[in-house]
Every structure is written in structure tokens, then in C-alpha cells.
Chains A and B, each alone.
Chain A
Amino acid sequence: MLRDITVSPAPHISEPISTRRVMIDVIIALIPAMVAAGYFFRLYAAILIGTCVLCSMTTEWLCNLIRKKPNSLDDFSAIVSGIILALSLPPALPVWAAVIGSCFAISVGKMVFGGLGANIFNPAMVGRAFLTVSFGMLMTGWTVPATIDRAMSKVAPENVVDARTQATPLAWSKMAIKDKNGAQIYSRRQFRATVTGEVGGCLGETSVIALLAGGLYLIVRRTISFHIPLAVLLSAFVFAAIAYLANRDAYVQPFFHLSSGGLLIGAFFIATDPVTAPLTTKGRWIFGVGIGTMTMLIRIAGEYPEGVMYAVLLMNGVRPLIDRFCKRVPAGGKPSA
């Protein structure tokens, strides 16, 4: 007869899915971008990604140890944060800076709030913002891809200064606003370079193809919903198009804005971090439009050439308000009583 009967609330079965599986999906989706980074920036990519992942994991482990909490490395979220931080760093960033960045990202960006699920801001972006304000020079050294500069792969991370650097496409567009020569900036060749990734920029943000492949994988796997990426890209495009139509001399074509800088990695991988994004569909639209608009505002009217990081952090900050504003109404309407 029956012994040891278990009792628990329904449902008694569940979908074979776990937080770890969600994180693994994100890691899989980031593989194309990591491969592209490795192809264009060679050793730098491997060193930076390795450093950031390792430091993120160590920091999380240490924080849990200090807080006397169970080890949480098995959810793989530290790995995801580490990879995303690495991919949003300039290729030739010294290793020590990457170490500082990842430790800050995980400790202050995530663990002080209570770990996974409790943080307000995207940990990777917290780390990157910290590095940007602390080491501004290092964070704007844009190494030329190895496919252009044959000597780059020989340059060791210790003597970065020797590496050839180049202004990023967004920096050109920024100069164009001052010089009023936007039309000349944007050429078919330039566009092709941003699509493949053969331009200066952060490790993982240069290749449009790689990012789109990863992003589509996440949407197909339903790991992310399409609302946020679509809202970010659409609003950025509309903003850029209005600017372009208003003044073709000063502002570059909207497609240029979509394909360059961190907009794609931001739209697919950073803004979609579920912990720091709104829950409801309506909220996700608002959040996405906020990021897209804010990014373009910074790019076009602000002092910085790039604005994805600040846009994401700002919208992260208003996320609780968005959630409060966008409460779902039951299918049967609000109860009458």
C-alpha cells in the first residue's frame, strides 16, 4: 500500500524550465557576438570576456560568503552579467580596469540589493558607468579591428597605447553635427562595415549580424519578448528620422544610428534584462520607447557620442513607477464592489 505520500499545493507538474536555463539561453544568444568580438579584436576579446566573467563570479561568491547566504553561482546570472559587461567595454581596456568594473558591477550593482532579482539597475551597466566616470580616457580608446590593422593582434594588452585607434562611427556623426557634413559621413561602405562589425567600438557592439542573430534566437526561444527591442529600435529610428529630415546636413541617416554604437546590444540584451525591466506589456513599450528616445537625445543633443548606457540606467530608475502606472486589469474588468 501507499506510504510516504507527498502533499503540496497544485499544480503538481511544471514546465521543465529553470532560471539557469533562461541564463543559458542568453549565453547561447551572446555567442555570435563573442565570436565576432574574437574575430575582430582577437586576444583582447578573450582576455576581457574571461576576466569579466571570472571576476563577476568571484565577487558574487565572496558577497554570498560575507552575507552568509547560500552560494548562488549555479543560476549562471553572474556569467551573463560578466559577458555583457565585457562586450560593452572598449577592446583595449587594461585588465585591471575590467577587474574593477566587474567587481563593482556585481557588488554594488547587484549584491547590495540582495542578489539576483532584487537589483534596480542593470549590473553590467552599473559597472560600465562606474568605469566611464572613473577612467574616461581608457573607456574611449577605440582600437581598430584586427582585420583592418594587421599589427593589432600583435599588440599585447600591456602596451595598448601602441595600438592604432580610430574614432567610432558615432564620434564621426557627433563631429558631423558640429561640422554640418552629415551627408558625407554615411557611405555604403561605412554601413557595410557596421553590419559586419569591422569598425571601432566596444567589443561586442560592432557586428549587427551577430547581435541580430542572438536577439532573434532569444525572441524565438521566448526568453525575451519582442516588445522592448522593437520599442527601442522603433523609437530611436523615428527620432533619428525626424532629426535627419529636419536637417540633412547635420544629422546622419537613421539606419546609421540603428547599426552603430550600442543600440542593438542594448535593445536585445541589456534593456531586456527582466529584473530591471517592467513586467507588463504596456510597461515594456513605455520602457523601450524611453530608452530609444533617451539614447537618441543623448546622441544628437547631448555631449556624449553614445547614450545607450545612460538611457538604460535612467529607465531602470523609473521602472518601478512604470510598473505602478501599468497595472494589468483583470480579463473580466475591475471588480464592481
Chain B
Amino acid sequence: MEVDIAGKLSFRGGVYPPEKKSLTRDSEIQAGPAVEQVAVMLSQHTGAVCRPLVRSGNLVQAGQKIGDSDAFVSAPVHSPITGKVKEIALRSHPVLGRSLAVIIDAYQYSPTRQPRFELPADFDENHYLPERICESIRQAGIVGMGGAGFPTRVKIEPNPQMPKEIMIVNGCECEPYITCDYRLMLERTGQIIAGIKLARRASGCSRVFVGIEDNKPEAIEAISAALSRSPNSDSIRVVPVKTKYPQGGERQLVKAILNRNVPTGGIPPMIGVVVLNVATAAAIAEAVLADLPLTHRVVTVTGEAIAKPGNYNVAIGASVGQLIEFCGGVTKKSAKVILGGPMMGIAIADLETPITKTTNAITVLTKEQIGTAKFARRQTPCIRCGRCLAACPENLSPTKIAHAVKNNLLDVAESYYINACTECGCCSYVCPAKIELTGYIKTGKIFLARQKKMVPQ
């Protein structure tokens, strides 16, 4: 299959931050640290928090389910190691503040590695029933690994109210620094394609597009070449898209590839589209073909302050501190530890924070770098230059929303569609007055949600 590499498809708005992917783009996926202790969060996804299935003192096997929920929108969690449950205790959670986690001490200090997965040569997705695929995905605890962590089963299971026709596989990886999806596309190409086919079969989609930013020509070529060799792949097309942040946002990707807008406040299935991350597709293949639960994921450890940046296959539950130590620690000038990339990632204060299913990167920035960030410099008044409006991929008016929040006018913020914000950070990135627009908007959304909760229905 011939692919035109230059991606012209895109969305309106967006920004062009320095890519910084060269730090880790040539670093093959290596085994992560051998962990003595893990803290597996009981909430690693959108939806109901799991209830622990083990108690302190219990022995657990690697891959054993240790938390689950009866709720529809939820996903179980598993132990990545063989060991003994120490306790169920609170740990720092990147989004929820403090949250319950199952703390497990590795047994005999014999670290368990994730079992190697080999794609069977005679793989044919038609040997698997759609229901069986969905159930395997559910049991393996697979959630969207790109960021939001929406349970994958819920996403791809056929729903008569929202019939799905098109699947978009997201290989954009538009955040600066991060290269874990890129490495997966190069190193586990066959596995990703197998996952795509299984998800296609389970969801009943007739067409599949694999969206990849055109700054990753090797990945575009690798996937295209593998598809041309693979049977039943006529309906799967690789679509190079323009390299622009936030091209990997699912709303932006749907717009770029299909030229359709996901309704505000809605999700892609409402217009018959399923969006899956490439890492999720790879996890689906492991879950369905080898019954391997999601206990490890590839994490890019990067940033100018990291001694040995690279891509590592890490046990979910390992702490950020352990991983940073494993990568040779940090240089003295380091100043900020970010879970994720520099545009949307969350800066953490506690290095005990465990890696979760949605942690795609740890970026450690230096003092000089954060010296140029918004908060470090004096904020000046908004001059209404309109850069934030031009950069907003959702066509909002960030300055209006942010100033409404600042002045505690939540109804005004709502009239400017504050809840349509995807928090991509473009507005803050371009603001010449150094205003933390995204920060204000996030705060406003939280205030609004609280306010709504207080009003009796």
C-alpha cells in the first residue's frame, strides 16, 4: 500500500511546541526496574472505583485480580508481581489527590517480569467471538491508555443506541517528549494490528483509520508495510495527519480524519466512531490471545533533567521515584516532575505516586525550563490579542472563560461553554500576558461541578 507521508489533514487551531522527541525516539523499549514494592491504585480509570479483593497478608500471584467493581463503567486491577499484600492504604493519585491503593511487597525479592507475548503466526481474529473478545478486554482491565482511561470494553462493545461504523486508531502522540506509542508502533507492529483487528471484530466497525502524525514517517511506513502483508486488512487504512498539538486529542483526530465534529459534551460513539490508542490496541491483543491482564505498560522517562532517558516496560504500581532512580536519577537542576508530557501532564509533588494504566510518560524539566513557564513570570493584564482564541482547537474564547472564573462569575463562564474545554493547554501556551488560562478554566470546571452537586435535583 502506497502512503503519502505528508499529512495535510488536521483541525482548526492548535500550537506547535518544540517536539523534543529526539531524547528518546531511538531508545528501544527496555525492561523497567525490578520492583520490591508496588502500589496498585484502585482507581485508574474513568468510572467506578474498584473494591479490593484481597486483604493485608494475602499472597498474590502476578496477574491476579486484586480489585474489581460491579459497575458497568469500571475496570478491574491486577497485581503485576507475585508477593504479599502489605496493606490497603492511601497513596497520592495524580488526579484524585489521595486514593486507595493495594500495596504489595514482592515475594522473596524475585521480581516478576511481564511474560513475553508472542503473536501466534496463524492469528485470525475470526476465531474469536465478539462477546469473548469483549469479556477478555474487561477481565484484563484494559482502559484507554492515551490519557482519559475510559474502560475499553464499554467503548467498543456494540450498543444498539449508538451503532459504530468507524474505528480510529490513535498513533498521533502529539505531546512533546513522549515516544512510547512511537516505539510500540515500530517494535510491536504485528501485535498492534492484531489488537486492531480484534477490536474491529468486537465493535462491528466496518472501516478503520490509523492516524499518525507525519513527524513519525518510520511508524507510518512500518504499520503500512505490516498491513499490506496481513490478511483481512483491506478496510484498515493508515492516515498521516499534520504534526500539530493537540492532534492526538480524540475530538481533533476525528475532525482531521473524518472532517466531522464530535458533539460538544459528547463522545465519539455518538457519531458512530470509536477511538482507540495504539497502546490500548497492543494490550487488547495480549489480553485476548494470551489472557494477559494489563499489569505493565510502556512509559517514556524523559526530560532534560533525566540522566538516562528512555522507554521502559514498567509494572503498573511502581512509584515514579523508583523509575527515576532506575533511569540514573536526575541532574541537580531538575525542578519539576510531570506525569505525562509538558502540555497536559500533571506536576506531582510526591515521588511515591504510583504509575497507573494511563501514565504514558514521566517528564522531568530543569529549573531553566520552568523559569520560562507562566507561573514563574509576572502575569500582565490581558491585552485581548486573541491568540488564545486562534489556538483553541474547540473554538472557545479562553480569555473570556478564564476571566469570568477569576471574577467568580461562573454563569458567565458557562455562557462561554466552559465545559466544552478539553484542557489541552494551547491557550496558556500562546498567551503573551503569561496568564494561566487553562488553570483558571480547570478551576472553574471544578467549582461548577461542586455547585451543581449542591443544588438538590
Residues of chain A whose beta carbon lies under 8 Å from any beta carbon of chain B: 1-2, 4-19, 21-22, 72, 75, 77, 114-118, 225, 274-275, 277, 279-280, 327-337
Q: Which residues of chain B are near A77, meaning CB under 8 Å? A: 383
Q: Which residues of chain B are near A333, meaning CB under 8 Å? A: 261, 263-264
Closest to A4 in B: B335
Once bound together, how far apart are the Cα atoms of A18 and B372, in whole Å? Answer: 11
Once bound together, how far apart are the Cα atoms of A328 and B399, in whole Å? Answer: 12
* Min C-beta distance of B245 to chain A, whole Å: 9
Once bound together, how far apart are the Cα atoms of A337 and B419, in whole Å? Answer: 12
Given contacts A2-B351, A19-B380, whether A12 and B345 have CB atoms under 8 Å apart is yes
Once bound together, how far apart are the Cα atoms of A18 and B431, in whole Å? Answer: 8
* Min C-beta distance of A114 to chain B, whole Å: 8
Q: Which residues of chain A are near B264, meaning CB under 8 Å? A: 330-335
Q: Out of A12, A225, A331, which one reaches B336, CB within 8 Å?
A: A12
- Asked whether A12 lies within 8 Å of B365 as measured between CB atoms, the reply is yes
Identify which of residues 377-397 in chain B touch chain A, using a CB-to-CB cut-off of 8 Å.
Answer: 377, 380-386, 389-390, 393-397
B17 at the interface (CB under 8 A from A): yes
Q: In the A-B complex, list the 4 residue pairs whose CB atoms are closest, starting with the nearest.
A: A117-B381, A11-B425, A9-B439, A332-B264
- Asked whether B397 lies within 8 Å of A332 as measured between CB atoms, the reply is no
Closest to B348 in A: A7
Once bound together, how far apart are the Cα atoms of A243 and B334, in whole Å? Answer: 67
Q: Which residues of chain B are near A277, meaning CB under 8 Å? A: 384
Q: Which residues of chain A are near B17, meaning CB under 8 Å? A: 13, 15
Q: Which residues of chain A are near B340, meaning CB under 8 Å? A: 10
Once bound together, how far apart are the Cα atoms of A334 and B420, in whole Å? Answer: 9
- Asked whether B261 lies within 8 Å of A15 as measured between CB atoms, the reply is no
Once bound together, how far apart are the Cα atoms of A209 and B381, in whole Å? Answer: 33
Given contacts A5-B336, A9-B436, A9-B438, whether A14 and B369 have CB atoms under 8 Å apart is no
Question: What are 19 A-B pairs at a CB distance below 8 A?
Answer: A5-B351, A8-B374, A10-B347, A13-B18, A14-B430, A15-B15, A15-B17, A19-B433, A21-B432, A279-B399, A280-B397, A327-B415, A329-B395, A331-B255, A331-B261, A331-B264, A332-B263, A334-B417, A336-B263
- Asked whether A14 lies within 8 Å of B261 as measured between CB atoms, the reply is no
Once bound together, how far apart are the Cα atoms of A333 and B417, in whole Å? Answer: 10
Q: Which residues of chain A are near B395, meaning CB under 8 Å? A: 328-331
- Asked whether B438 lies within 8 Å of A328 as measured between CB atoms, the reply is no
Once bound together, how far apart are the Cα atoms of A280 and B192, in whole Å? Answer: 43
- Asked whether A335 lies within 8 Å of B386 as measured between CB atoms, the reply is no
B329 at the interface (CB under 8 A from A): yes
Q: Out of B266, B382, B400, which one reaches A117, CB within 8 Å?
A: B382
Once bound together, how far apart are the Cα atoms of A330 and B252, in whole Å? Answer: 13
Q: Which residues of chain A are near B430, meaning CB under 8 Å? A: 14-15, 17
Once bound together, how far apart are the Cα atoms of A2 and B116, in whole Å? Answer: 34
Once bound together, how far apart are the Cα atoms of A115 and B380, in whole Å? Answer: 11
- Asked whether A5 lies within 8 Å of B420 as measured between CB atoms, the reply is no
Q: Which residues of chain A are near B348, meaning CB under 8 Å? A: 5, 7
B132 at the interface (CB under 8 A from A): no
- Asked whether B370 lies within 8 Å of A335 as measured between CB atoms, the reply is no
- Asked whether B383 lies within 8 Å of A22 as measured between CB atoms, the reply is yes
- Asked whether B428 lies within 8 Å of A2 as measured between CB atoms, the reply is no
Q: Which residues of chain A are near B361, meaning CB under 8 Å? A: none
- Asked whether A13 lies within 8 Å of B335 as measured between CB atoms, the reply is no
B434 at the interface (CB under 8 A from A): yes
- Asked whether B429 lies within 8 Å of A14 as measured between CB atoms, the reply is yes
* Min C-beta distance of A208 to chain B, whole Å: 26
Once bound together, how far apart are the Cα atoms of A13 and B346, in whole Å? Answer: 12
Q: Which residues of chain B are near A18, meaning CB under 8 Å? A: 377, 380, 432-434
Closest to B264 in A: A332
- Asked whether A8 lies within 8 Å of B389 as measured between CB atoms, the reply is no
Given contacts A6-B370, A10-B345, whether A279 and B386 have CB atoms under 8 Å apart is yes
B176 at the interface (CB under 8 A from A): yes
- Asked whether B432 lies within 8 Å of A13 as measured between CB atoms, the reply is no
Q: Which residues of chain B are near A16, meaning CB under 8 Å? A: 372
Q: Out of B263, B343, B439, which one reaches A13, CB within 8 Å?
A: B343
- Asked whether A335 lies within 8 Å of B420 as measured between CB atoms, the reply is yes
Given contacts A14-B429, A331-B251, whether A9 and B442 have CB atoms under 8 Å apart is yes
* Min C-beta distance of A123 to chain B, whole Å: 13
- Asked whether A6 lies within 8 Å of B384 as measured between CB atoms, the reply is no
* Min C-beta distance of A16 to chain B, whole Å: 7
Once bound together, how far apart are the Cα atoms of A279 and B398, in whole Å? Answer: 11
- Asked whether A332 lies within 8 Å of B266 as measured between CB atoms, the reply is yes
- Asked whether B373 lies within 8 Å of A8 as measured between CB atoms, the reply is yes
Q: Out of A117, A118, A331, A335, which one reaches B393, CB within 8 Å?
A: A331
B444 at the interface (CB under 8 A from A): no
Once bound together, how far apart are the Cα atoms of A274 and B334, in whole Å? Answer: 38
B162 at the interface (CB under 8 A from A): no
- Asked whether A19 lies within 8 Å of B369 as measured between CB atoms, the reply is no
Once bound together, how far apart are the Cα atoms of A117 and B383, in whole Å? Answer: 5
Q: Which residues of chain B are near A9, meaning CB under 8 Å? A: 347, 375, 428, 436, 438-439, 442
Known contacts A5-B336, A115-B381, A330-B417; 11 additional CB pairs below 8 A are: A6-B336, A11-B373, A12-B347, A13-B17, A13-B365, A13-B372, A14-B431, A19-B432, A279-B397, A331-B420, A332-B394
- Asked whether B386 lies within 8 Å of A13 as measured between CB atoms, the reply is no
- Asked whether A2 lies within 8 Å of B337 as measured between CB atoms, the reply is yes
Closest to B13 in A: A331
* Min C-beta distance of A321 to chain B, whole Å: 15
Q: Which residues of chain B are near A328, meaning CB under 8 Å? A: 389, 395-397
- Asked whether B383 lies within 8 Å of A275 as measured between CB atoms, the reply is yes
B3 at the interface (CB under 8 A from A): no
Once bound together, how far apart are the Cα atoms of A280 and B398, in whole Å? Answer: 11
Q: Which residues of chain A are near B423, meaning CB under 8 Å? A: 10
Output the residue of B265, B372, B374, B381 with the most chain A CB within 10 A. B381
Q: Which residues of chain B are near A334, meaning CB under 8 Å? A: 264, 417
- Asked whether B336 lies within 8 Å of A10 as measured between CB atoms, the reply is no
B40 at the interface (CB under 8 A from A): no
- Asked whether A336 lies within 8 Å of B265 as measured between CB atoms, the reply is yes
